[in-house]
Homo-oligomer: A and B are copies of this chain.
Amino acid sequence: MPPGEFALIDRWFRPLDGRAGQGRPDVLLGIGDDAALLQPPAGQWLVAALDTLVEGRHFPPGSEPRSIGHRALAVNLSDLAAMGATPAWALLGLTLPSTTDEAWLQAFAEGLGTLAARHGVALVGGDTTGGPLTLSVQVLGFVPPGMALRRDAGQPGDLVCVSGQPGEAALGLRLLQHDATLSGAGTAAQRQQLRRRFEHPEPRLALGLALRGVASACIDVSDGLAADAAKLARASGCGLELHTEALPLSAAMCGVAGVAAAREAALGGGDDYELCFTLPPSREPELATLAARAGCALTVIGQLTADPALRLLEQGKPRSAPWQGFDHFAAERSE
């Protein structure tokens, strides 16, 4: 049994609130009052997102607490990355079972705090209560007026690109769940790489900044690449054509799952938090420079079309694709 609500907040979360080493003088009043007082930078737009993680739904029961803390913040920072925003502050709504212990809290706070410190984010408030393990994180960041990346501004003919190797995290989750179809395949290092992609996804904040003024539209890949690319296309009033051969598959994905299953994971897996974005064909030559600035691979996987259809082509032939994506409401992925 952990200590009471207030002792818990004091011990584990107050050190992350920006006054004690996180170096944010814009936190005028952090954890400890009814609300936080914050000083927005003059002339910037505020960018706000909130994502919830539920045990057994977004991560397997008994997951490493360090990974849970990391992911609770990472999925939110990924939303800011997809808008081209610079993150600043976070609030945490933490619902904990009564069986939670101090070691769990310490690892959770370290996972969240390490990622927060890496991106200069202060944890300025929130709420801790008892109940089934659920985490709602709200993040706030900034973007210069008119510079935000949106999902609704793509144009027919724009190239559809994706960062990293989406699908790694979905395979990593299957490894964590001891999926028998993957048993023993791939090297230990490959298996570790995939598990790590699920447990410690890296929000693509540097890429989001680099895409300001370059990408015509952007979305983060949380529900599956095909589904999120389709959302971007629909929001932009376009159709979509993707090519399976163009999907960026890592050696780890192919080694552990084989090429065919790796492709399906790349299309339908949803926990990588990569960015899917569009840009005019004339800017394709800039991709190598953007990839270098962002520190990740960038791959053209298709293009937006004036025809509203969603098409996936494999060796030039249309095939089905998981356009609907993962519905966190209807399904239970991680149980």
Contact = CB atoms under 8 A, between A and B. Distances in A.
A131 B57 contact: yes
For chain A, the bracket of interface size reads: 35 or more
Given A33-B150, A132-B134, A46 B38 contact: yes
A89, A132, A151 pick with most chain B CB within 10 angstroms: A132
Contacts of A292: none
A89 B51 contact: no
A46 B29 CA distance: 11
Nearest to A100: B329
Interface stretch (A122-130, A159-167, A252-260): A122-130
A206 B80 CA distance: 33
A300 interface: no
Nearest to A1: B330
A5 interface: yes
Given A54-B129, A131-B132, A136-B136, A34 B83 contact: yes
Interface of A: 1-2, 4-6, 8, 28-29, 32-40, 42-43, 45-52, 54, 56-58, 78-80, 82-83, 85, 89, 91-96, 98, 124-132, 134, 136, 138, 140-141, 143, 148, 150-152, 218-220, 235, 327-332
